[in-house]
Structure 1
Amino acid sequence: AIEWSRITTKASLIGELKHAVKEIPKTTCSYIALFVHTIIYYGSNIVKQFKTSLHQRPNDVHCVLMSKYSKVPEWWYFVVFCLSFIVAAVTCQQGDLMPWYYLFLAIAIAFGWLLPIGIVEAIANVNLFSLTAVMLVGAILFHKNGLANLTFQAFASTTISQALILLFSFKFGHYMKIPSRTIFITQLMITILNAIIKYSITYHLLNTVPDICSTQNWTCPNSPTTPILFANLGKLP
C-alpha cells in the first residue's frame, strides 16, 4: 500500500499547481463555448450523419467505393467495450486504485467531450482537450487520494485520446480504401500488444532500477504530478 505523506513544497511543484489552477477558468469557459458552438453549428448535421449510411451517399465517390466492403458490426464494439470495462473495473477494485463505479463517470466525461473535441480537431487540427477539468473533478471526488485522481484522469483522458486515434485510423482507411473490419481488428491487436509491452517494461523498470520514483519529492520519469497535487491540496503545509 502507498502511504501518502505530506507533499514537499518544492518551487517546481508549487509552480505547476499554480499554473494548473490558473487554467481552470479558461478551461471552463472554453468547454462551454465548445459545446454551444457544436450544438448551434453542427447539431443538425450530427443528427443527419447518424441516420445516414455509406449506401445513401451516391455523390461521394469514397463512400460509394467503401460501401462495397462489409461494415464493422455494432456488436463488435459492444463486446470490446464490455470486456474492457470489466477488466478496468476489476483492476481498479483489486488494485486499490479507485472505486470501480467511478469508471461510469470517467467514460461519461469522455463520451460527452468526444464529438465536440473531435469536430474541432478534424476541422482545425487543434486538440482542445485539457486535463485540468478532469483533474479538478477527480480532486473533488478523491480528496487526499492522489492515486485515485491519477487513475480517474487516466481512464477519462485515455478513452478520449484512443477514440480519436481510432476515428483517425478509420478516416485514413476510408480514403485509402482499407476495409473497416481490417482496421478494427488491427487496432484491437495493436492495443492489446501495446498494453502488454508497456506494462511489462514499466514493471521491470520499477523493480530493477533503484529509486526510479521518489515519494519524498514526488518525482517519477514521464509521470504527471499535477493530479497528485490537486488531490492532496489539503496536505500542503
Structure 2
Amino acid sequence: MSTFFSMTYGLGFATLSATVMHVLLFNGSDLWKQSKRAFGGNRKIDIHTRLMKKYKSVPTWWFYIILVINIPAIIFACEYYNESLQLPWWGVLLACAIAFFFTLPIGIISATTNQQPGLNIITEYIIGYMYPERPVANMCFKVVGTVVSVLVYLGTAWWMMDAIPNLCSQDNGPWKCPMDRVFFDASVIWGLVGPRRIFGNLGEYGGVNWFFLGGAVAPLVVWVFHKAFPRKEWIGLIHMPVLLGATSMMPPASAVNYTSWIIVGFLSGYVLFRYRTEWWKRYNYVLSGGLDAGTAFMTLLIFFALGYWDVGLTWWGSNSSNPEGCLLASCPTAKGIIVDGCPAH
C-alpha cells in the first residue's frame, strides 16, 4: 500500500476509538441520566420532544416487522447464493451486532456535529480476520443497500456503460471511477489478502494498529485540558472524532480536494470564535446546508449543461491526468527504475 492509503486506514482506526471514547467522556453522564429516566418512567420532556408530540409517531411494531422480515431474508439469500456471496449466516448476525453496538455513539456524533463516522473499516477488519480470502463476503458484510438504491444504481450503471465506452478505464480521461477503484482495492486488501497478512503478525503494516490507541487517547487529552481550564470554553469544542474522521474520503479524494474545505472551515471557525456575531450563530447551520445543496445543484447543472454534451473546460483543476499540479506524482519511487522526466533513485 502507498503511504497515503495506509495513513487513511490508520486515521479510520483512530476515528472509531475516538468516537467511543469521546461519547463516554463528554456525553457519558447525560446518557446515564437519560437512561435512568427512560427506564424509570420519569422521562424528561424537553422543548424538542414537546414540539414533536404534535406529529403522529410511527408505530414501533413497524420497525419490529421490518427487522423480523429482513434478517431472515438476508440469511436466506446469503445461504442460498453462498457460492456467489460467500458470506455465511453468522456473518449476517455479526454485522447486525456491530451496527447495534455503534448506533448510539455514532448517532450522538451525527446529531451534534452533522458528521457520521463510517463503520466500513472496522467491519472489513473484523470479517477479514474471521473469514479471510473471501473478498465478496467482505464486501457483502459492510455494504447495506435498499430496494430503491439498488434499482437506481443498476439503472445508472447500465446507462453509463452504454453511453461511455471503456467506463472506469484508467486511461479514459475523467471517467476513471475513483470510488470504485478504492472499493476494489479494499476488497483485495481486506477480503482476498486479509488483515492478518497486512496489519497482523504476517504483515508489514502492524504499526498502523497503534492508531486505535492514539484515537482513544486523543479525546482523553482534550477532556483533561477541558477540566483543567474550565474557563477556556473553546477547548471543550475540540472534537477529535470529527477532526480524525474528516479524512474518511481520502482516497478516492486527493489532497487538493481538501483545500477549499480547509479554507471555508477555518475561516468560518475564526469568524465564530473571534467575533461571535449573532448572524453567524443564527445562520451557520443554514450556510452549511446551503453549501451542500449548492454543490449538489452545480453537479447536476455542470453535467447536463457541459458534460452530457461533451463540452469540457480546461484549467489546472480539471486536468484529470495531473489534478494536483504535481508533475512528479506519477513517477516511480522504487530504486533502479528509470523513467524519462522523472528523477532517478
What TM-score, normalized by structure 2, do the two folds share? 0.43
Question: Conserved in 2, the CA contact under 8 Å of 1:146 and 1:228?
Answer: yes
- The separation in 2 between residues aligned to 1:104 and 1:18, in whole angstroms, is 29
What TM-score, normalized by structure 1, do the two folds share? 0.59
- What is the number of residues matched between the two proteins? 183
Question: Conserved in 2, the CA contact under 8 Å of 1:139 and 1:149?
Answer: yes
- Quickly say closer, same or farther: Cα 1:132–1:14, change in 2 above 3 A: same
**Aligned AA for 2:29?**
Y
Moved more, 193-202 or 107-116: 193-202
Match of 2:35 in 1: 47
Question: Conserved in 1, the CA contact under 8 Å of 2:78 and 2:89?
Answer: yes
**Aligned AA for 2:133?**
K
> Identity of aligned pairs, percent?
21
Match of 1:229 in 2: 189
Match of 2:78 in 1: 92
- The separation in 2 between residues aligned to 1:207 and 1:91, in whole angstroms, is 30
- The separation in 2 between residues aligned to 1:16 and 1:144, in whole angstroms, is 24
- The separation in 2 between residues aligned to 1:220 and 1:99, in whole angstroms, is 30
State which of 104, 111, 117 in structure 1 corresponds to 2:93. Answer: 104
Aligned ranges 1:58-207 → 2 under 5 Å: 60=47, 62-95=48-81, 96-97=84-85, 98-155=87-144, 192-202=147-157
Please identify the structure whose Cα radius of gyration is greater.
Answer: 2
**Aligned AA for 1:74?**
T
Q: CA RMSD in A?
A: 3.7
For residue 179 of structure 2, give the secondary structure of its aligned residue in structure 1: coil
Question: Conserved in 1, the CA contact under 8 Å of 2:13 and 2:122?
Answer: no
Deviation, 1:30, is 1.7
Find out whether 1:26 has 2:6 as its counterpart. no
Instruction: For structure 1, list consecutive stretches of 5 or more residues without a partner in the other structure.
Output: 1-12, 159-190
For residue 222 of structure 1, give the secondary structure of its aligned residue in structure 2: helix
- The separation in 2 between residues aligned to 1:116 and 1:32, in whole angstroms, is 6
**Aligned AA for 2:64?**
F
Question: Conserved in 2, the CA contact under 8 Å of 1:38 and 1:116?
Answer: no
Note the alpha carbon deviations across 1:39-76, whole angstroms, 9 max, x for none. 733332441464499x973x62x534532443221110
Deviation, 1:109, is 0.7
Note the alpha carbon deviations across 1:173-198, whole angstroms, 9 max, x for none. xxxxxxxxxxxxxxxxxx54333332
Deviation, 1:27, is 4.1
Deviation, 1:117, is 1.1
For residue 71 of structure 1, give the secondary structure of its aligned residue in structure 2: coil
**Aligned AA for 1:63?**
T
Note the alpha carbon deviations across 1:90-141, whole angstroms, 9 max, x for none. 3323333111321111111111111111112212333333532222112102
